Amino acid sequence: MQDNHQRYGVVSRLLHWGMAAIFLWQFLGMVLLIILGETPLTYFFLGTHGPLGAVLFVLIALRLGWYGRNASNRPEQEASCSGKLAGMGHKLLYVLMIIVPLLALLRSYGSGRAFAPFGIPLWGASEQKIEWMIAVGNAAHGILAWALLAMIAGHVGFALWHKMVKRDQVWSRMV
């Protein structure tokens, strides 16, 4: 269950791969919207964008808690420059994973519309809009989400490089 210095444990792996699958679903929907426009296939993915984003927000909170519990007890990055960059890259992924759904949830709250992901009522409708929440969400949710996708692409590229070129243990300790 717990992480150790050789590999990530079951909980970290489930969180990593489960969340990776949901992130890919979110981005696939948006990419289909850009390429195909508003088709039934697009809405198959996009129909759950808000609710799944809210699920991701809960999962990242759990993942942060688990990270804290295992901080001194997980695979370490190399002391080299690239190892330090990898550590910073992971931290930036965490920051974006929190901020991207948070901004959208703020905007949703500020819009005055009720929000009940998968039937669970988080807040009801309100007469009053909160303009700054809407403005912040409009300004930054989309652009930071694309920045997160770019970070993920780099992350996957580096993971594959470890597996295929360096052939070290970095790939297998998460896979």
Q: Which of 9, 11, 14, 16 binds ligand HEM (CB under 6 A)?
A: 16
Window 108 to 167, contacts with ligand HEM (CB under 6 A): 108, 141-142, 145-146, 152, 155-156, 159
Task: Give one DSSP letter per residue of the chain, joined into a string.
Answer: ----SSS--HHHHHHHHHHHHHHHHHHHHHHHHHHH-S-HHHHHHHTTHHHHHHHHHHHHHHHHHHHHHHGGGSPPPPSSHHHHHHHHHHHHHHHHHHHHHHHHHHHHHHTT--B-GGG---B---S---HHHHHHHHHHHHHHHHHHHHHHHHHHHHHHHIIIII--SHHHHH-
What minimum distance in Å lies between the beta carbon of 127 and ligand HEM?
A: 20
Contacts with ligand HEM, residue ranges (CB under 6 A): 12, 16, 20, 23, 26-27, 30, 49-50, 53-54, 56, 67, 75, 77, 86, 90, 93-94, 97, 100-101, 104-105, 108, 141-142, 145-146, 152, 155-156, 159, 170-171, 173-175
